[in-house]
Amino acid sequence: MPEHPYRSQPPRAFWSRAVATGFEPREVATGTGPLLGRSDRVMSAGSCFASNMIPWLERSGIEYVRTETPPPAFRDLPENLGYGNFSAAYGNIYTARHLRQLLQRCLSTFVPVEDRWYRDVFVVDPFRPGLRYPARSDEEFDLLTGQHLAAVLEAVRLSTVLVFTLGLTEGWCSRVDGATYPACPGTIAGEFDPDRHEFRNFTVDEVTDDLLGALDLARSVNPSLRLILTVSPVPLVATATDQHVLTATTYSKAVLRVAADQVTRARDGVEYFPAYELVTGPQAPDAFYAEDRRDVTDEAVAVVMGALFGPQDSGTADGRGPDDGRNSGTGTGGTVAHSLSQAISEAECDEVMMEWEPGD
């Protein structure tokens, strides 16, 4: 039998042995070993799919870096659109351009011209348009935004790994300075103005360049930072191109997948984790998507996270991941301070009101 290069390939290289039969998600995910170790400190960013990993990560005993959690008394307040989900409160970052510009803003190398919108008494952050508790004045906006950008940079400094989930190639930008918004102005907040805002559908070269630029910026403050790239398996909710949303989705995901690959080749310390393939590949069961064929189910998330972190003992019975641990940071200090404050206040109020007695 003649020798040829395929003879030396392992079983995982053959569809018949690795997909058609004996499919093992962990084999897809890791070629040479685990992507994350117990000593890692992980920061994540990206599309909404990126937040799925956090509870699994923490259950695995790996530290998820959080630098912008609210003080204890405020932690039970609801938040919008996942701003509380990530290492800092940047919310979903759908495009590589947005990530790059966020880091540029942190380092004061980019100051967007259109950096705030006004709505009623509020000053809205165009880069976090859904924040539930926006500023009420320009001064407060500057303080809160400055604090946010410092928290992002601190997360980069503290992390050993950044996991970035690429979500979209389509985005909305400022015609003035190219500032890239997470959502089209006028949808969540702001007003769309065709003279100021334009649609962009980023190319492979642009996405690659933005990812490399973002990585270089991050490594300028943390030279040993590793990058794990993933592509979100969630299709576009809508396209602004003249394409059908299905072909627009395919273009978008293909571009992101190729750009991710190019970045892994261009820089050391960059790896790709195939969440996209695990959920969308022909081997994936129907049940990995909900009825709308867009929302990824808990079952799919469990398979992806199992591939990334390995089996975990005590997932909940309904197949959902472990608690996300967002409240686990409530320190004793906060609880004691609250209970003491409450006890003192209540005792004094009672005392003052009891000083008046009938017949006085």
Q: Which of 136, 175, 293, 320 binds another protein (CB under 8 A)?
A: 136
Nearest approach in angstroms of CB 169 to another protein is: 33
| Residues 6+ positions from 207 with CB-CB distance below 8 Å | 95, 96, 97, 166, 169, 255, 256, 259
**What would the two tokens of residue 195 be?**
């003279």
Closer by beta carbon to another protein, 82 or else 269: 82
Query: Applying CB under 8 A, does 132 fall inside the site for another protein?
Result: yes
* Torsional sign, CA 15, 18, 19, 25: negative
Binding mask 194-233 for another protein (x = CB under 8 A): ----------------------------------------
Judged by CB under 8 A, does residue 139 bind another protein? yes
Give the whole-angstrom CA distance, residue 260 versus residue 238: 23
Count interface residues toward another protein (CB under 8 A).
42
- Is residue 75 within 8 A of residue 138, CB to CB? The reply is no
Q: Which is nearer to another protein, 123 or 217 (CB)?
A: 123
**Which residues, 57 to 86, sit near another protein by CB under 8 A?**
70-74, 77
> Any contact of residue 144 with another protein (CB under 8 A)?
yes
Edge-first strand listing for the sheet containing 197-201: 180-181, 170-174, 197-201
The least distance separating another protein from the CB of residue 91, rounded to whole angstroms, comes to 15
Does residue 1 touch another protein according to CB under 8 A? no
Paired with 42 in beta bridges are: 64, 161
Binding mask 316-355 for another protein (x = CB under 8 A): ---------------x-xx-xxx-xxxxxxxxxxxxxxxx
Residues 278-317 vs another protein: string with x where CB under 8 A?
A: ----------------------------------------
Q: Strands 226-231 and 197-201, how do they pair?
A: unpaired
Which of 84, 129, 134, 190 forms a contact with another protein (CB under 8 A)?
Answer: 134
Q: What DSSP letter does each residue of 204-217 carry, written as one string?
A: HHHHHHHHHHHHHH
In the complex with another protein, the residue whose CB is nearer, 198 or 350, is: 350
- Nearest one of 138, 97, 131, 132 to 115, comparing CA atoms: 138
User: Residue 273 in contact with residue 283, Cβ under 8 Å?
Assistant: no
Residue type, 146: G
d(CA 192, CA 125): 15
Q: Is 143 in the site for another protein (CB under 8 A)?
A: yes
80 vs 312, beta carbon nearer another protein: 80
Footprint of another protein on this chain (CB under 8 A)? 70-74, 77, 122, 132-137, 139-140, 143-144, 147, 331, 333-334, 336-338, 340-356, 358
